[in-house]
Amino acid sequence: MKKNEREKLAAAKAKAKKSAEEKATKKRVLGNTGPFGFRENTLAHQFCLAISEKPQSMKEIIEAKWNTPRANYYGYVPAMVKAGTLRKTAEGKMYIVGSSADPDVKPLSAGKKKKKK
């Protein structure tokens, strides 16, 4: 091998080593976690947003516009019930505890008095 070929080979190896080190040290960003414990803009996050707005049954969730794969979320329900973030009504509708869908929480406008003009 000639001297300039050895130098090119050494430079190529150094460049490959440097890029491999950069890839190893680069952190993988997965996105922000929402208030429900799921990454934002995922179907699980959309599920939680839907039942925080109004109580819904699983049938309503499956038929929702945002649920394009028509997935059900039975896998999330037991863990969320155990954590105390999700409850079911007597009719089988689910809601997030403390949200606007929670029947035990009074709406904010209920306690406010109207101002006199």
pLDDT digits (tens, 9 = 90+) for 83-101: 888 999 889 899 999 888 8
Q: What is the pLDDT of residue 36?
A: 83
Within a domain: residue 60? yes
CA–CA gap between residue 82 and residue 67 (Å, rounded)? 24
Structural domain tally of the chain?
1
Is the pTM higher than 0.85? The answer reads no
Q: Which domain holds residue 56?
A: 43-96
Within a domain: residue 57? yes
Within a domain: residue 78? yes
Within a domain: residue 3? no
- The radius of gyration of the chain from alpha carbons, rounded to an integer in Å, stands at 26
Which residues of the chain register pLDDT less than 70? 1, 26-30, 107-117
Within a domain: residue 79? yes
* Alpha helices, H only, the chain: 3-25, 43-53, 58-62, 77-83
Within a domain: residue 74? yes
Q: What is the pLDDT of residue 34?
A: 85
CA–CA gap between residue 30 and residue 51 (Å, rounded)? 24
Q: What is the pLDDT of residue 71?
A: 87
Within a domain: residue 34? no
Q: What is the pLDDT of residue 109?
A: 56
